[in-house]
Structures are given as structure tokens and as C-alpha cells.
């Protein structure tokens, strides 16, 4: 199965890139986690932020695979345990469909992306910075995969 992590923002600090790579590279051949970065347009003074967000949202939706499960990362989404994530992941694998996980930029996800959500996943009630979200998601995807594989990483 392929999981696309479609995330607004690029040119991350080294610790973000390293953290993401650390977990994504541990996954086995049956689960490929691909990061797709959507460049954040500059929010200069007087910019029409809604229009910029709309443009980024269009790029996010275009990056999702046809027929993918669309999972939006939302503070007000459903708070899944890692076991619940593993359960969902097992279901997605059985369905034969790939997954697109959507992470918004500084203002959050545009309504056009939220409208496409099959599921909404909350990591916590805290507002996390979007660079950190991709690292936590990669670690949780790896942890959930290790549950499905009976790998000792998840204790």
C-alpha cells in the first residue's frame, strides 16, 4: 500500500527532514510512505490568504491518488489510539486502495480539502506546528505497521 503524506510547506529544518526519514525508511516493502510537499505561497502583507489557501488546496487534491482514502489531519478530528490506527491501516490494506493523509499550512486545511475527507484524524487537542506533524505521523505509521507485523518496536 502507498500512503501519500501531502503536506503544505517545504524547505524544513534539518531535524524535521531527519526525523521524517528516520521513521519512513524503517517501513517494509508492503507499506510505502511518500512525502509530497506543497509549496507554501508567501503570505505578504495584503495578500488574499483565502485565495492562496485555495490554490494550495487544489495542488493537494491533485497530488492525491485517484480512489485513495482521504484522511485529513485535524485538531478536531477523531483521536485514534495507535492500535486504532493499526486497525484502520489493516482495513485500508485489505481494501486494495491507497491513502492520502492531508496536513494543512499555518491557517489549517482549506474547506475544499476537508470536504473530501473519508476520515479525520486528530493527533491531540494541541495545535502542533505542521513540520512536527509530519514527523509524528511518520512515527505513528511506523508504530502501527509494527503492530500489524508483530514487530517488537511497539511494546
Ligand X SMILES: C[S@@+](CC[C@H](N)C(=O)[O-])C[C@H]1O[C@@H](n2cnc3c(N)ncnc32)[C@H](O)[C@@H]1O
CA neighbor of 76 nearest in space, from 51, 100, 109, 116: 109
Minimum distance, C-beta of residue 96 to ligand X, in the bound complex (Å): 26
How far apart (Å, rounded) are the C-alpha atoms in residues 61 and 149?
A: 31
Which listed range, 27-35, 46-54, 129-137, 139-147, lies at the site for ligand X (CB under 6 A)?
Answer: 129-137
Grid coordinates representing 46 are 495584503
How far apart (Å, rounded) are the C-alpha atoms in residues 28 and 142?
A: 9
H or E element at residue 100: strand 99-103
126 is in an annotated binding site: yes
Decide: is 103 part of the binding site for ligand X (CB under 6 A): yes
Decide: is 128 part of the binding site for ligand X (CB under 6 A): yes
Nearer to ligand X, 56 or 86 (CB): 56
How far apart (Å, rounded) are the C-alpha atoms in residues 39 and 135?
A: 18
Dihedral, 98, 57, 107, 48 alpha carbons, nearest 10: 170
Decide: is 63 part of the binding site for ligand X (CB under 6 A): no
Q: Out of 104, 113, 138, 139, name the contact with ligand X by CB under 6 A.
A: 104
Nearer to ligand X, 28 or 115 (CB): 115
Q: Out of 52, 133, 135, 144, name the contact with ligand X by CB under 6 A.
A: 133
User: Which residues here bind ligand X, judged by CB under 6 A?
Assistant: 73-75, 103-104, 106-109, 122-124, 126-130, 133
Amino acid at each position: 500500500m502507498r500512503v501519500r503524506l501531502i503536506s503544505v510547506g517545504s524547505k524544513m529544518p534539518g531535524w524535521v527532514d531527519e526525523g521524517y526519514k528516520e521513521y519512513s525508511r524503517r517501513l517494509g516493502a508492503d507499506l510505502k510512505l511518500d512525502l509530497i510537499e506543497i509549496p507554501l505561497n508567501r503570505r505578504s502583507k495584503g495578500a488574499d490568504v483565502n485565495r492562496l489557501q485555495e490554490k494550495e488546496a487544489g495542488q493537494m487534491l491533485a497530488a492525491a491518488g485517484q480512489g485513495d482514502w482521504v484522511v485529513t489531519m485535524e485538531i478536531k478530528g477523531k483521536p485514534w489510539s495507535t492500535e486504532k490506527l493499526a486497525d484502520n491501516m489493516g482495513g485500508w490494506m485489505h481494501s486494495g486502495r491507497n491513502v492520502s493523509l492531508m496536513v494543512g499550512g499555518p491557517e489549517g486545511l482549506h474547506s475544499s480539502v476537508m470536504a473530501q475527507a473519508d476520515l479525520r484524524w486528530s493527533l491531540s487537542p494541541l495545535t502542533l506546528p505542521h513540520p512536527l506533524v509530519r514527523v509524528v505521523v511518520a512515527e505513528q505509521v511506523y508504530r502501527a505497521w509494527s503492530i500489524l507485523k508483530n514487530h517488537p518496536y511497539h511494546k
